[in-house]
Structure 1
Amino acid sequence: MASVKVFLDNEQDTVELGKRLAHVITPPLTLNLSGELGAGKTTLSRGLIQALGHEGAVKSPTYALVEPYELGDIELFHFDLYRLSDPEELEYMGIRDYFTDKSICLVEWPDRGHGLMPVADISIAIKYVGTSREVEITSGSTKGQVLLSKLK
C-alpha cells in the first residue's frame, strides 16, 4: 500500500484534486472518501464528477444514499453512507449491483458500510489543519497503486 499526502489551501484546490483524479481513473474503480463533516468529501467528488463530463450540480446523496451519473460509457455512483443506521440496509438496496466492470463508485463515510463494501482501490482521508486540509491518498489494490503513481 502506497500513499501520497497533499495539502489543500481552499475549496478550489479540493475541486482541482478531484479533476486530477478524474484524469487518471478508469472503471472498474472503488474510491473511498473519509473525513469529518464539512472536510471536503463532496467538494472533491464534485470536481471529479464534473471533470468526467457531468454538467450541473453535484449534491451529496445523504438522504438517497446513492446518486447515479451516466458519463458516456462510465456509470458513476456517488454514495453517502452518513445516515446509514445499519450496514444491512445496503443489502436491501442491492449494493453489490452497483460495483460492476463499467462503474466508478465514490463512497463517502465508507466505515458505515463495514463488512458489506468492497475493498477500495483508492482511499482518501481528508483532515482539517487550521483552515487548510491535509489529504492522504492511499492505494488498496494493484490498480490503486498504478493510479497513485500517475497522480504524483
Structure 2
Amino acid sequence: MSEVTLFIADEEAMVALGKSIAEITGGVGLIFLQGDLGAGKTTLSRGIIRGLGHSGAVKSPTFTLVEPYEIGEVRAFHFDLYRLVDPEELEYMGIRDYFDGDALCLIEWPDKGTGFLPKPDLTITITAHNHGRQLKLLSQSARSESWCAALALKF
C-alpha cells in the first residue's frame, strides 16, 4: 500500500484532478472519498464523472444515496452515504449489485457503510487548508498502486 499526498489550489484544479483520475482508472474501480462537509468530495466526483465523458449535471446524491451514470460503455455510480441512518440500509438497496462487473463506484462518507462495503481500491482523504486542499491517496489494491504513481507524477 502506497500513499501519495497532493496539494490542490482551487476548484478548477480539483476538477482537473478528477478528470485525471477518470483517465487513469479507465472507469473501473472502487474509490472511497473522505473529508469534512465542504472539503471537496463532490467537486472531485464531478471531475471524475465529467472525465469519463458525462456532459450533463453532476449532482450530489445526498438524498437519493446513489446517482448512476451510463457513459457509452462505462458505468459509474456516485454514492453519498451522509444521510444513511443504519449501514444495514445498504443491504436493502442491493448495494452488492453495484460492485459486480466493471463499473466505477465513488463513495462519499464510506464510514457510514462500515460492514457492508467491500475493500476499496483507493481511499482519498481531503482536508481543507488556507490555500486549497490536501488530498491523501491511499492505495489499497494492486491496480491502484499504478494509479497513485501516475497521479504523483502528474500533480
> What is the TM-score of this pair, normalised by structure 2?
0.95
**1:100, distance to aligned residue in structure 2 (A):** 1.9
Deviation at 1:131, TM superposition (A): 4.0
Which residue number corresponds to residue 6 of structure 1?
A: 6
- Matches of 2:28 and 2:47, distance apart in 1: 19
Pairwise CA distance, 1:132? 1.4
Amino acid at match of 1:49: I
Task: Tell me the residue number matched to 1:64.
Answer: 64
Contact 2:27 2:52 in 1 (8 A): no
**Aligned residue for 1:19?**
19
**Which residue is equivalent to 2:129?**
129
CA distance in 2, matches of 1:117, 1:66: 14
Q: 1:47 to 1:28 in 2, by over 3 A?
A: closer
Gap regions ≥5 residues in structure 1: none
Contact 1:27 1:101 in 2 (8 A): no
After TM superposition, which residue ranges in structure 1, 4 or more long, deviate above 4 angstroms? none
In 2: Cα distance, 1:116 partner to 1:39 partner? 24
Q: Could you say which residue in structure 1 is the equivalent of 2:73?
A: 73
Aligned residues, how many? 152
Query: 1:27: how far off?
Result: 4.9
Unaligned runs of 5+ in 2: none
Aligned pair 1:142/2:142, yes or no?
Answer: yes
Contact 2:46 2:58 in 1 (8 A): yes
User: The residue matched to 2:24 in structure 1 has which SS?
Assistant: coil
Instruction: Report percent identity of matched pairs.
Output: 51
